[in-house]
Structure 1
């Protein structure tokens, strides 16, 4: 998964509104997430960070081709999606996985017309199958998957020029995909160049206001002018959404929070203070100061620059967090070590890296507090180990 953490388990469920509205009975419990449309625009936050406050809620979700129903289940909130495909994108906040499964397994989904018929679907966890990557497909495969993504969707006003430019290349809404040899070569090269542009937009941002503090190199993951509608007064936030969604999957109102103690905040680093990419063959250290302004917990997670997924190592360790039993210094600070060699005396604070692989890092604050927002809190740079 793009940009995930391993401190909280994720739950995904996909819904199709082509045949008509559906009902989602979202469970009560310690969860956080959102219902989002096909273009990563939230319909509503759910769980403790949403209007239901973790008490559960019932939704009627209507797609673009259908009218709002005259009658809905008692207490249900009506949600209008601009796309037929809708994703439920959530995290379980309880530390016990069985508790998380028990909570989400109470989720019920059924067509609106099936009320009272006994025809319902219960969300069940899939425990079999192979682990696959959410990284965007490359080359011609990118366009093949884009065709599938566009299938069943309508062209929105903001996308009409994109759709017009793609059509002569054989990429159309609801169309077949049979590019000739010339088109195949053009599309293959375009996908490679497009990804390089997206990677530069994400890992070397030129968006104003990305630096968290002037005296360190930590950046905000999410541009400060980003809004979940992805449009601003001066036009569509093209660079901002390109950078954001090249790195991650999904969003919510909670990740844009400005209210202390709610939601989550993300700081990122893609290179050392000298501007060099983090090298899996070298060792680095981060001194996390005492009293991190996070109401719930904080975590640091490493990602592979090629996949934007979790780094791979034989130890299967990719993060460290305040929920773990870490070695603490006398002043309350915590030394996190990232490198290929086991650090003597700091084994429990170590995130192993792999030579030949570059990485980047997210520092998460769940329930960020006022010192984060007013920037009076300082997170030092990640430094090369001497």
Structure 2
């Protein structure tokens, strides 16, 4: 059907001149959600215009906060690595395994060892050679668009192979000719990030990691691995003017996407331009600082008060990745008619990195993540109270499952290092000494109180005065995890752990 034919069958909504004039007066007050604004012969008064400009700029600052979350998170991660770890540079794998090394990373897990790093395609196509073995990983651009999975959930299904990653400014002479066993990926940003979770014994992890090769085409195939030195490094988005300084750094290190050109104009009005120093006026500074407050409140609301039904599951659990197109975060961040603004801001505020296997349900060949932000009575989860999470067994996961406890303010593993049972935020199938109930289910005990004797492995100590939330992970999640045949855990507040476990 042509547009002409289609339009001929529509009843076009029209507006009479009287209706038009009745909605906004020629002179007088225009009442809005934001208050009244005066018009004088259809001219905004000087006072009204000043208020409108403030309103426009404050609104834009808050929306720009949401827009910039993924780039700020990745930029802070990369620069934080460079400032924290000795010998870190592009094409370097950072080996992270201790509690202190993980606790600044958005929703990190404690079950697997991590290897991560960044590369720059301006120096030539990035050659990522993966060995055969038990690895779960991904390649990511700086806007957290998932490029490809690595390892057993990737296109080579764990058999190894070469990934060639080409950016928008990769020199043509530094792009290899197509070869056997090569997977070629074109990305939207110059820089990229890779994460590898390697499974197995310490000896197997060491052997596997040293078989990886990361280099720019034209350079010698090599691998450089450094350790985290048990140092803390934060990758969650900073607050105040520091947020905008990091965003300014990020956009000056990257190409401008076509979809972002209007946002770049908004930034210009607020004193942030590509290729120019960041020197905001006092007015711009006030607006930007307020914008991070309002923007973060919006981000927190998107995370903790979800309104998009396509990601809601049983027992008020939420799909962290995946869900209905347009409501859930997908690795492309794109649907047919729009890019997903709110789901991207929501996910990249509470977590970091995406991939096809993380966002598209593929039973047995993907990771599944669900989160919950209140107990069964609809009350928020407080660190000063005791709770029991009841986990039905068996959990449908081919590789492992876990429940990890995160701080609601930082979205990182709770920092309980200084408690009597601290330095631990996880319970799962890989937990040494995990206690299983007679019916095959599990109790996870959470709270400031010590657990009963014999339940230490099932206990995580929480922190009075701080909120928390759980993520449940299933690596190699089976179909039952996605189709609701598996009954998700319940979270109940208790006065005493003995009231539940007997």
What TM-score does the superposition give when structure 2 sets the normalisation length? 0.72
- 1:33 maps to 2:137: yes
- The answer to whether 1:55 aligns with 2:156 is no
- Given that residues 140 and 184 in structure 1 are in contact (C-alpha distance below 8 angstroms), is that contact kept between their aligned partners in structure 2? yes
CA contact (8 A) 1:341 1:352 kept: yes
The answer to whether the aligner puts 1:248 opposite 2:345 as a matched pair is no
Aligned equivalent of 2:402: 299
From 365, 372, 378, the equivalent of 2:474 is: 365
- Corresponding residue of 2:374: 271
- Which residue does the alignment assign to 1:111? 216
1:334 aligns with 2:442: yes
Task: Report whether the alignment pairs 1:378 with 2:469.
Answer: no
Quick one: distance in 1 between partners of 2:492 and 2:131?
44
1:163/1:256 CA distance change after superposition, 3 Å:
same
1:322 matched to 2:429: yes
Name the SS of the counterpart of 1:64 in structure 2. Answer: coil
Tell me the distance in 1 between the aligned counterparts of 2:362 and 2:188. Answer: 28
Q: Which residue of 2 aligns with 1:220?
A: 319
Distance in 2 (CA, whole Å) between partners of 1:39 and 1:347 is 40
Q: Structure 2, unaligned stretches of length 5 or more? A: 1-104, 496-502
Q: Please report how far the alpha carbon of residue 126 of structure 1 lies from its aligned counterpart in structure 2 after TM superposition.
A: 2.3
Aligned to 2:293: 192
Contact 1:317 1:351 in 2 (8 A): yes
Q: What do residues 119-170 of structure 1 show as CA deviations (whole Å, max 9, x unaligned)?
A: 3441313243731111101000001111111123221121111111111212
Distance in 1 between residues matched to 2:232 and 2:164, nearest whole Å: 32
Question: Structure 1: 5+ residue runs without aligned partners?
Answer: none
Partner SS for 1:10: strand
The 5 A counterparts of 1:117-266 are: 119-128=220-229, 130-213=231-314, 216-224=315-323, 225=325, 226-266=329-369
Equivalent residues, number: 379
1:78 to 2:184 alignment: yes
Runs of 4+ in 1 over 3 A off after TM superposition: 66-70, 72-75
3-state DSSP of counterpart to 1:361 = strand
Question: Cα RMSD (Å) of the superposition?
Answer: 1.8
Structure with the higher fraction of residues in helix conformation? 2
* CA distance in 2 between partners of 1:335 and 1:291 (Å): 13
Task: For residue 235 of structure 1, give the secondary structure of its aligned residue in structure 2.
Answer: coil
Contact kept in structure 1, 2:136 and 2:198, CA below 8 Å: yes
CA gap of 1:93–1:207, structure 2 versus 1, over 3 A, is same
Q: Is the 8 A contact 2:176 2:217 kept in 1?
A: no
3-state SS of paired residue (2:207): helix
Contact 2:142 2:192 in 1 (8 A): yes
| C-alpha deviation, 1:70, in angstroms | 6.0
SS in 2 for 1:266: strand
